[in-house]
Amino acid sequence: MFSYIFISSLLLPNFAKFVPTFMHANISKCFYKITEDFHHEGDVVIGAFFPLHTYYMKNKIPHSYLPYYYKDNYLQYNFKNYQYILALVFAIEEINENPNLLPNISLGFDFYNVRFTEKETLMNVCFWLTGQGQKKILPNYNCGKNNFTTALTGTSWTTSAQIGTLLQLFKFPQLSFGPYDPILSDHGQYSSIYQMAPKYTSLSLGIVSLMVHFRWSWVGLILPDDHKGSKILSELREDMERKGVCIAFVKMIPVTWNSYYNKFWENMDETNVIIIYGDIDSLTGLMRTIGERLLTAKVWVMNTEPHITDYADYFMLDSFHGSLIFTHNYRESFELTKFIQTVNPYKYPEDIYLPKLWHLFFKCSFSDIDCQLLANCQSNASLDVLPSHILDMTISEESYNIYNAVYAVAHSLHQMSLQQVDKQADENGEAMAFFPWQLNIFLKDINERDNMSLGGRQKLNAEYDILNLWNLPKGLGQKVKIGSFSGNAPEGQQLSLSEQMIQWAEGFSEIPQSVCSESCGPGFRKVTLEGKAICCYNCTPCADNEISNETDVDQCLKCPESHYSNTEKNHCFQKTVIFLSYEDPLGMTLACIALCLSALTAFVIGVFVKHRDTPIMKANNRALSYTLLITITFCLLCSLNFIGQPNTVTCILQQTIFGVAFTVALATVLAKAITVVIAFKATFPGRMMRWLMTSRAPNYIIPLCTLIQLLLCGIWMATSPPFIHQDFHAEHGHILLLCNKGSSVAFHCVLGYLCFLAFGGYTMAFLSRNLPDTFNESKFLSFSMLVFFCVWVTFLPVYHSTKGKVMVAMEVFSILASSAALLGFIFAPKCYIILFRTEKNSFHHIKDKTNSRRNVS
Q: Band of the pLDDT at 98, cuts 50, 70, 90? A: very high
State pTM to two decimals. 0.65
Determine the Cα–Cα distance for residues 353 and 345; give it in Å rounded to an integer: 8
Q: Assess whether pLDDT exceeds 70 at residue 136.
A: no
Does the pLDDT of residue 95 top 90, yes or no? yes
Residue 60 exposed, middle or buried by CB count within 10 Å (0-12, 13-18, 19+): middle
State yes or no: pLDDT of 32 exceeds 80: no
Task: Determine which of 119-133, 151-165, 731-745 has the lowest per-residue pLDDT on average.
Answer: 119-133
Q: Is the pLDDT of residue 19 over 80?
A: no
In this prediction, residue 454 carries a pLDDT of 39
pLDDT of res. 152: 94
pLDDT band of 408, cuts 50, 70, 90: very high
In this structure, the number of other CB atoms found within 10 A of the CB of residue 851 comes to 10
Cα–Cα distance, 516 to 426 (Å, whole number):
72
Cα dihedral sign for 587, 588, 591, 593? negative
> Which residues have CB under 8 Å from 306's CB, separation 6+?
283, 287, 290, 291, 300, 320, 323, 469
Q: Is the pLDDT of residue 839 over 80?
A: no
Whether the bond between 224 and the residue before it is cis, its omega within 30 degrees of 0, is: no
Name residues whose C-beta falls within 8 Å of residue 350's C-beta, 6 or more positions apart in sequence. 38, 39, 40, 41, 135, 136
pLDDT of residue 458: 44
Cα separation values, 462 from 106, 199, 237, 515, 693, Å: 34, 8, 20, 29, 111
Among 41-55, 201-215, 556-570, 758-772, name the one with the lowest average pLDDT: 758-772
At 40 the pLDDT is 85
Q: Residue 465: phi, psi to the nearest 5?
A: -90, 145
Q: In this model, does residue 60 exceed pLDDT 80? A: no
Give start and end residues of each alpha helix (H) in 682-804.
687-694, 701-719, 744-767, 778-801
From residue 352, alpha-carbon distances to 40, 84, 784 in Å are 11, 14, 123
483 by DSSP, 3-state: which? strand
Q: How far is CA 675 from CA 659, 706, 779, in A?
A: 24, 18, 14
- φ, ψ of residue 201 to 5 degrees: the values are -75, -30
Bridge partners, 326 (sequence order):
466
Question: What is the average pLDDT across 571-592?
Answer: 90
pLDDT category of residue 792 using cuts at 50, 70 and 90: confident
| pLDDT classification of 485: cutoffs 50, 70, 90 | very high
Spatial neighbors of 409 by CB under 8 A, at least 6 apart, are: 46, 107, 149, 150, 175, 439, 443
Nearest residue to 437 via CA among 95, 127, 167: 167
pLDDT of residue 142: 36
What pLDDT does residue 275 have? 94
pLDDT tens by residue, 660-717: 998 999 888 888 878 777 766 555 555 555 555 555 666 788 889 999 989 999 999 9
Q: What is the pLDDT of residue 834?
A: 80
- In this prediction, what percent of the chain has a pLDDT beyond 90? 21
Q: What percent of the chain has pLDDT over 70?
A: 79
Q: Which of 350-364, 516-530, 672-686 has the highest mean pLDDT?
A: 516-530
The band of 448, judged by pLDDT with boundaries at 50, 70 and 90, is low
pLDDT value for 845: 54
The separation between CA 702 and the C-alpha centre of its own chain, rounded to angstroms, equals: 74
* pLDDT score of 557: 93
- Please report, for residues 386, 413, 796, the alpha-carbon distance to residue 731 in angstroms, rounded to integers and kept in the order given: 76, 88, 21
* Average pLDDT, integer, range 772-795: 76
pLDDT level of residue 24 (50, 70, 90 thresholds): very low
H/E stretch holding 413 reads helix 397-419
Query: Mean pLDDT in the chain?
Result: 79
pLDDT tier at 91, thresholds 50, 70, 90: very high
Strand partners, 564: 573
Pair 56, 284: CB distance under 8 Å = yes
Residue 386 has pLDDT above 90, yes or no: no
The β-bridge partners of 538 are 527
Rounded-to-10 torsion of CA 574, 577, 583, 588: 130
| Residue 116 pLDDT class (50, 70, 90 cuts) | low
**Beta-carbon count within 10 A of 327 CB:** 19
* φ and ψ at residue 111, rounded to 5 degrees: -100, 135
CA atoms lying within 13 Å on the CB side of residue 115: 18
Question: Of the ranges 221-230, 240-249, 783-792, which one carries the lowest mean pLDDT score?
Answer: 783-792
- pLDDT category at 837 given cuts 50, 70, 90 is confident
- 630 — pLDDT class (breaks 50, 70, 90): very high
- State the pLDDT at residue 622: 80
pLDDT above 60 (res 427): no
Mean pLDDT of 595-624: 83
Task: Put residue 530 in one of left, alpha, beta given phi > 0 → left and psi -120 to 50 → alpha.
Answer: beta
For range 803-819, the mean pLDDT:
87
pLDDT at 429 over 60: no
Stronger pLDDT, 559 or 307, i.e. the higher one: 559
Distance CA 661, CA 709 (A): 10
Contact of 444 with 282, CB cutoff 8 Å = no
Residue 78 reports pLDDT greater than 90: no
pLDDT surpasses 50 at 784: yes
Whether residue 826 has pLDDT greater than 80: yes
Task: Please choose, from the candidates 708, 720, 721, 783, the residue with its C-alpha nearest in 3D space to the C-alpha of residue 752.
Answer: 708
Q: Which of 154, 679, 651 has its CA nearest to residue 401?
A: 154
Predicted local confidence at residue 309, as pLDDT: 45
Cβ atoms of 291 and 309 within 8 Å: the answer is yes
Q: Helix, strand or coil for residue 4? A: coil
What mean pLDDT do residues 428-440 have?
A: 71
Report which of residues 367 and 690 the model is more confident about. Answer: 367
Q: Give the residue, 779 or 382, on which the prediction is more confident.
A: 382
- Residue 89 is predicted with a pLDDT of 94
pLDDT the model gives residue 220: 94
Would you give the distance in Å from CA 654 to the centre of its chain? 55
